[in-house]
Amino acid sequence: MSGPETATSDIVGAAHARLRHDSAVKHVTGDAVYVDDMPPLPGTLEIFPVVSPHAHATIVSVDIAEALRAPGVAGIFGAGDIPGKNDIAPIFSDEPILADGLAEYAGQPVLIVAADTYDLGRDAARLIDIGYEVLDPVLTIDEALEKGQFTYPPHSVVRGDAEGAIEAAPRRVSGEVSCGGQDHFYLESQVALAVPGEDRDITVHASTQHPTEVQRGVAHVLGIEINDVLVEVRRMGGAFGGKETQATGIAALAALAAALTGRPAKLRLRRDDDMIVTGKRHDYRFRYEAGFGEDGRLEGVKIEMATRSGNVADCSSGVMARALCHADNCYYLPHVRFDGLPCKTNTVSATAFRGFGGPQGMLAIETVIEHVAAELGKPVDDIRRINYYGDGGRNVTPYGQTVKDNIIVELTERLMREVDFEGRARAVDDFNAANATLKKGIALMPVKFGISFNLPTLNQGGALVHVYTDGSVHLNHGGTEMGQGLFVKVAQVVASTFQIDIDRIKISSTRTDKVPNTSATAASSGSDINGMAAHIAATEIKQRMARAAADHFGVETGSVEFRANRVYAGNESISFAECAHLAWRARESLSATGFYRTPDISWDAKTMTGSPFYYYTYGACIAEAVIDTLTGESRVLKADILQDVGNSLNPAIDMGQIEGAFVQGMGWLTSEELVWDEDGHLKTHGPSTYKIPGSRDVPPEFNVHILEDAPNMVPTIFRSKAIGEPPLMLAISVWLAIRDAVARTGGRKVFPRLDAPATPEAILMAIEDVRERANQLPSPLTGEG
């Protein structure tokens, strides 16, 4: 289908306008209501979760008798109390909400205590006696690989003969690099409030990116039908992928308590429990081998991509698919073998997180590229340039999709020119020559990110629009609001479609009884699919209104025009409200649903080939960092970003997404370190021990530019592009810049091994390693670079 091309702006709040978040005023006054802020219903129970202290153990006995007699306790429930199925797996099966006989990670919920207050539940929980028989846990990638333990059967992206090409290539490198996981650290921890209704009905107020999955999960667990469950989401206090599948179990536990006690029940995970109980970004270990020519052109690349998938598969197969499909980043790789190994470990299930495997895959290939440059002693950006996707056959990804919208060469060249990359690099050299303690590094990171869920089925969206007789509009769609500004963007689309001011449009909460069978608000696709669905619904109503106006004024329907809050028919014009009233009198329906499916996408999960992405989004960042060679401390000094957003639906919102994603990515790669002890206990489970970036960590010079005049080549809603995830990967530039600084401590003679996150310790140890290796080189060092 062809999409709407442009939006005019003689109304307030049209598409492409800079508008603030629709709830901004409520945010600053404290009036915005989150689940935990809702006025309590009488009799509401609070749930205290009892979790396994062991990473791997059989549960041999459970004694709750004394706890049940404790004050304020309404019930204590375990796997055996679940009326339906103890399974909320989003893709596979057997993913329990409560451990049933076997605990598979430290922090896995075993029981829930429902009591009058959280504190009473906690007091009662101390009286519970659970007998465990502790088993050996599998905690590392190596242990899992040795045992051949996977959460689902591994898959690979293969093209040509990587081994043969590497073997035949004039030059070769090989190495290993790891990146850590990441806690989402949404400021609002996981929360759900379940309210029992008539019959088996249950209403769940959840903080979820995926109301439909919560609805399905609750129905499944309670053994009722999906239509018995209503899920409502007004807003989340942040999500970042952490509330895509992980919110389902929380909601199901609240619903379980509500259904079994007949009272409203709320589960709000306290911060430490949230971090211990729920999943995080996948950590990865990459082992790579690459063969290339003397000019640095890659011939064959082989990467073993092993991740700790955790105790269950959850959405790991999707994350891995995206990692496999982004380990090419912007580079044409003739012969490829990427093997994705989802290791089953006794750690919390890894899950969706902004970028969804993309950042990890890109980090791997950028390491390969840089290693090649170091091996050849050439500027890394020459190696990037020679390997970028181009034409003449060099435009097909390893998974078989032709890259048709490639702008990475122009985009990176423009950015390098605009920030005077060469001058800056010379300044870095000068600084390093003049300073012994601190060393600077600088790096470019190009990003190409595929937009659409890998799995075509998920690329659908629905909306429900009503126009009332006073011309006010009620807007509802399947997307959820987590702070990313989806609601205001979709409202702008509807304002543009009807040509009315945005304040006539009521933005309402996401509800499963209004728009059913939705996909998660994820994969950056929220405005693409929901915006288009809302546009389709509004267009439908608009046509009916036009018909009524045409009949009334005796003109052709096609000549009726909506403009600046008015409807024009021949020489007459009436207000939008009058037209709505007119249409009602003429017995036109002023309500419509809209449905959109992303066209032209395909994916064969067996062969891991197809064209899963409707289009690609591009961006680049140049970052400069400084490190302390005595302590390993680091700081990002500058970041310059140029990001493609198509014809932005709302530049203010897009800017916020770019800046926020970049800083979040920076945290992943620098200060955010998840540490487990040898028994599998997470030791970093609150902001006191897990350090996300603070305001001072943002580069003091942080320049973000949106690529102008870059309409999407494919007909998305008003030719916009998705923005939620792509800029996160721009932050890889920070890690590259730090690695560059480390390399310079050894005169750039050896390629540093620097794992992410680049904490002060990781940096200092990498410096030591580089200096030691550089000193062992036969040729004498020629000063530091």
Partner 1 sequence: MTLEFHLNGRRHAVRDVPPNVTALDYIREHLRLTGAKEGCAEGDCGACTVVLAAGPEGGRTFRAVNACLLTLPHLNGADVLTVEGLADGDGLDPVQAAMADGDGTQCGYCTPGFVMALYALRRGPEEIGGEIDPETVHDALAGNLCRCTGYRPIVDAAVKACGEKASEEAGPGGGSAHAPARATDRYEAGGQAFLSPTGLDEMAEALADNPDAYILAGGTDLGLLAAKERQKLPVVIHTGRVAELLEIRDEPDHLEFGAAVTYTDALPLIGRDYPSFATLIKRIGSRQIRNMGTIGGNIGNASPIGDTPPCLIALDAVLSLHSRDGPRRMPIEDFFLDYRKTDLRPGEFIRSVRIPKPKAGEAFRTYKISKRYDQDISSVIGAYRIAVADGAVRDARIAYGGMAATPKRARACEAAITGSAWREDALMEAARAVDEDFEPLSDHRASAAYRSMVARNLFARLWRDISGADEPLDVALIR
Specify the DSSP class assigned to residue 676. Answer: B
Q: Which of residues 302-331 bind partner 1 (CB under 8 A)?
A: none
Please give, one letter per residue, the 3-state secondary structure of 432-460.
HHHCCCEEEEEEEEEEEEEECCCCHHHCE
| Helix axes 358-376 and 316-326, enclosed angle (nearest 10) | 30
Catalytic residues: 725
The residue whose Cβ lies closest to ligand FES is 187
Q: How many CB atoms are closer than 10 A to CB 334?
A: 18
Spell out the alpha helix ranges (H) of 292-391.
Answer: 316-326, 358-376, 380-387
Is the Cβ of residue 187 or residue 675 nearer to ligand FES in the bound state? Answer: 187
Strand 202-206 vs strand 229-233: parallel, antiparallel, or unpaired? parallel
Alpha-carbon span 46 to 120, nearest angstrom? 9
Site for ligand FES contains 25 (CB under 6 A): no
Q: Which of residues 662-681 bind partner 1 (CB under 8 A)?
A: 662-664, 671, 673, 675
Site for ligand FES contains 355 (CB under 6 A): no
Compute the least distance from the CB of residue 124 to ligand FES, in Å: 25
Spell out the alpha helix ranges (H) of 5-147.
Answer: 24-29, 65-68, 118-125, 141-147
Alpha-carbon span 434 to 440, nearest angstrom? 11
Strand 57-63 vs strand 473-477: parallel, antiparallel, or unpaired? unpaired
> Residues 34, 239: contact at Cβ < 8 Å?
no
Is the Cβ of residue 189 or residue 317 nearer to ligand FES in the bound state? Answer: 189
Half-sphere exposure of 618 (CA within 13 A, CB side): 24
Among 146, 589, 683, 775, interactor with partner 1 by CB under 8 A: 683
Compute the least distance from the CB of residue 187 to ligand FES, in Å: 4
Compute the least distance from the CB of residue 738 to ligand FES, in Å: 26
Q: Which of residues 475-514 bind ligand FES (CB under 6 A)?
A: 483
Among 1, 2, 10, 39, interactor with partner 1 by CB under 8 A: 39
Alpha-carbon span 164 to 36, nearest angstrom? 58
Specify the DSSP class assigned to residue 730. Answer: G
Compute the least distance from the CB of residue 269 to partner 1, in Å: 11
Stretch in the footprint of partner 1 (CB under 8 A) among 71-79, 454-462, 483-491, 496-504: 483-491
Instruction: Give the amino acid at 118.
Output: Y
Among 32, 145, 427, 586, interactor with partner 1 by CB under 8 A: 32
The candidate with the shortest Cα–Cα distance to 190, out of 206, 212, 202, 204, is 206
3-state DSSP assignment of residue 740? helix
Site for partner 1 contains 416 (CB under 8 A): no
Site for partner 1 contains 53 (CB under 8 A): no
Q: Which of residues 176-215 bind ligand FES (CB under 6 A)?
A: 187
436 binds, among partner 1, ligand FES, none (CB under 5 to 8 A by kind): partner 1
**CA-CA-CA-CA torsion sign (212, 214, 217, 218):** negative
Is the Cβ of residue 37 or residue 556 nearer to ligand FES in the bound state? Answer: 37
227 binds, among partner 1, ligand FES, none (CB under 5 to 8 A by kind): none
Q: How many residues bind partner 1 (CB under 8 A)?
A: 88
610 binds, among partner 1, ligand FES, none (CB under 5 to 8 A by kind): none
Stretch in the footprint of partner 1 (CB under 8 A) among 156-164, 178-186, 246-254, 569-577: 178-186
**Chain-centre distance for alpha carbon 534:** 23
Q: Which of residues 613-632 bind partner 1 (CB under 8 A)?
A: 626-628, 630-632
Alpha-carbon span 175 to 157, nearest angstrom? 20
Alpha-carbon span 541 to 342, nearest angstrom? 48
Q: Which of residues 672-701 bind ligand FES (CB under 6 A)?
A: none
Among 5, 6, 8, 37, interactor with partner 1 by CB under 8 A: 37
Specify the DSSP class assigned to residue 284. Answer: E
3-state DSSP assignment of residue 759? coil
Stretch in the footprint of partner 1 (CB under 8 A) among 396-404, 451-459, 555-563, 697-705: 697-705
> Residues 321, 309: contact at Cβ < 8 Å?
no
65 binds, among partner 1, ligand FES, none (CB under 5 to 8 A by kind): none
Exposed / middle / buried, residue 58 (Cβ in 10 Å: 0-12, 13-18, 19+):
middle
Q: Which of residues 499-518 bind partner 1 (CB under 8 A)?
A: none
Is the Cβ of residue 526 or residue 785 nearer to ligand FES in the bound state? Answer: 526
209 binds, among partner 1, ligand FES, none (CB under 5 to 8 A by kind): none
Is the Cβ of residue 526 or residue 594 nearer to ligand FES in the bound state? Answer: 526
The candidate with the shortest Cα–Cα distance to 106, out of 150, 61, 51, is 51
Q: Which of residues 225-244 bind ligand FES (CB under 6 A)?
A: 238
**Contacts with ligand FES, residue ranges (CB under 6 A):** 187, 238, 483
